Structure 1
């Protein structure tokens, strides 16, 4: 019975949609961030615990994603850490969507010709409403509340 369970493990692992290197990268980088490495890295560890790992908050309590200037009209920008895509279908009109493809849960990879593109299986989504326009995905990207505060795009709480 144990031989059957062990033999099935590689098959189950192959069915996952995630990145195989994510687990390996985390475990190999964990010792580097331990207390024994802190003295060697010194100030290089400090910025990671500062604003770069914890996104800044806005006056309204939302999370600042980035500057408005990073989101072109007719295109968008993927904020990978927040797993959010912000688009600007028309000048001054900003939309937010999940950056996780609804087909198999992989991250979307780019915005091209007014489409949010998932590189894994070719799904394309509209920058206007997140609806699928081609590929295997059948459901739209979930909307994320975003707003402009000053010169920044902010994800609402």
Structure 2
């Protein structure tokens, strides 16, 4: 047996390790709570990309106008945006982050955007609260409609 004593690791190293584990856990939790890509039409199409084959952002096509049902919308989880069409030819976009506890909305049905975490509901026309516990609406996002293409601004 060795006569050398084993010294405990300094507190700074433990804090650094715990901080790193906390950040990794937070990243894993956010990924797990990212939501899904549902449509109000009842379709289970999880494609977050229009038929152009390019990803959204920086002016790339997010969707075709025909992909967004009138009176409903579609969640694009990868881009953290929900696009709605409250009335024919009128398109709106909102962040998927629910203001209640920062979970992600994941469906649009019957004119309502829903957060699965606690049941908050938001209107497709303005993102305003229809049902709590959220006390404020979804944050507006910028999109551009050109012809039959919708892009993130």
> How does the TM-score come out when normalised to structure 1?
0.63
Flag the 1:135–1:88 CA change in 2: closer, same or farther, 3 A.
same
How far apart in 1 are the matches of 2:106 and 2:69?
16
Aligned residues: 115
Whichever of the two has the greater Rg, that structure is 2
Query: Shift in Å at residue 22 of structure 1?
Result: 3.4
Tell me whether 1:132 sits opposite 2:129 in the alignment. yes
Residue 29 of structure 2 is matched in structure 1 by 20
Rate the CA distance shift 1:111–1:19 in 2: closer, same or farther, 3 A. Answer: farther
Q: 1:143 to 1:112 in 2, by over 3 A?
A: same
Are the structure 2 counterparts of residues 86 and 56 from structure 1 closer, same or farther at C-alpha, using a change threshold of 3 Å? closer
CA contact (8 A) 2:56 2:79 kept: no
Partners of 2:56 and 2:27 in 1: CA distance: 28
Confirm or deny that 1:84 pairs with 2:93. Answer: no
User: In 1, distance between residues paired with 2:27 and 2:116?
Assistant: 13
What's the counterpart of residue 94 of structure 1?
91
Matches within 5 A, 1:3-152: 20=29, 22=31, 55=55, 62-152=59-149
1:91 offset after TM fit, Å?
A: 0.1
Contact 2:61-2:150 at 8 Å conserved across structures: yes
Q: Which runs of 4+ in 1 moved over 3 A?
A: 16-23
Q: What value does the CA root-mean-square deviation take over the aligned residues?
A: 2.8
- For residue 79 of structure 2, give the secondary structure of its aligned residue in structure 1: coil
Q: 1:64 to 1:124 in 2, by over 3 A?
A: same
* Alignment partners' CA distance in 1, 2:129 and 2:109: 14
Alpha carbons 2:122, 2:137 under 8 Å: kept: yes
CA distance in 2, matches of 1:125, 1:20: 24
SS at match of 1:77: strand
Partner of 1:76, secondary structure, is strand
User: How far apart are the structure 1 equivalents of 2:26 and 2:135?
Assistant: 17
Contact 1:102 / 1:140 at 8 angstroms: preserved in 2?
yes
What's the TM-score once normalised by structure 2's chain length? 0.64
1:98: how far off? 0.4
CA pair 20-94 structure 1, distance change in 2 beyond 3 A: same
